Amino acid sequence: MEHHLVLQIVSRILIPLIMLFALYVQFHGDYGPGGGFQAGVIFAVGFILYGLIYGVDRLRKVIYPALLRIMAAFGVLLYAGVGVAGMLNGGEFLNYSVLSTDAVAGQHLGILLIEAGVGITVASTMTILFYVFARP
């Protein structure tokens, strides 16, 4: 894809916007449609678009496959860790109300953290899948 000048320029403009939109979907999930699953996929699409247009080898230099594997596991751990934190604070597993002094604030914090965990896992897993299937 070395000669696709139009695609390269357009993707260079689009990729930051795609990632910004992913962050919007991630953190706006409490107020509108969206959340970790959708945001993770959209964020991964930014990387995949880069890989499609500039080649998988250049994408490997942007984001290391080993790092992606760690991130995929970290997301699940973050989610489960929030659950365990609820237990340590004297509640049930995944009870967010005890995470803060105010129950509603605790729920907000818990939802924010677990959605972040979901987003990290989904984005890394989707990029891992792209790496595996897009072997040269």
Partner 1 sequence: MSVIFVNVVLLLFLVITALAINQQRNLFAAVMMSGIYSLICASLFVCLDAVDVAFTEAAVGAGIATILFLGTLAVTSYEEKRVVKVHFTSLFLVFICGGLLIYGLSDIPAFGEHSNPVQTYLADAYVNTSFEVIGVPNLVTSVLASFRGFDTLGETTVIFTAGISVLMLLGRGKPKGQSVVQEEIK
Contact footprint for partner 1 (CB under 8 A): 25, 29-38, 41-42, 44-45, 48, 52, 69, 72-73, 75-76, 79-80, 83, 93-94, 96-97, 103-104, 107-108, 110-111, 114-115, 117-118, 121-122, 124-126, 128-136
Q: Which is nearer to partner 1, 10 or 129 (CB)?
A: 129
- Residues with Cβ within 8 Å of 70's Cβ and at least 6 positions away in sequence, in order, are none
Q: Which helix (H) or strand (E) holds 109?
A: helix 103-133
How far apart are the C-alpha atoms of 44 and 46, rounded to whole Å? 5
Q: Scan for tokens 């992606």, then name that residue.
A: 68
Q: Smaller CB distance to partner 1: residue 28 or 90?
A: 28
Measured from the CB of residue 129, what is the shortest distance to partner 1 in angstroms? 6
- Which tokens belong to 97? 């109300």
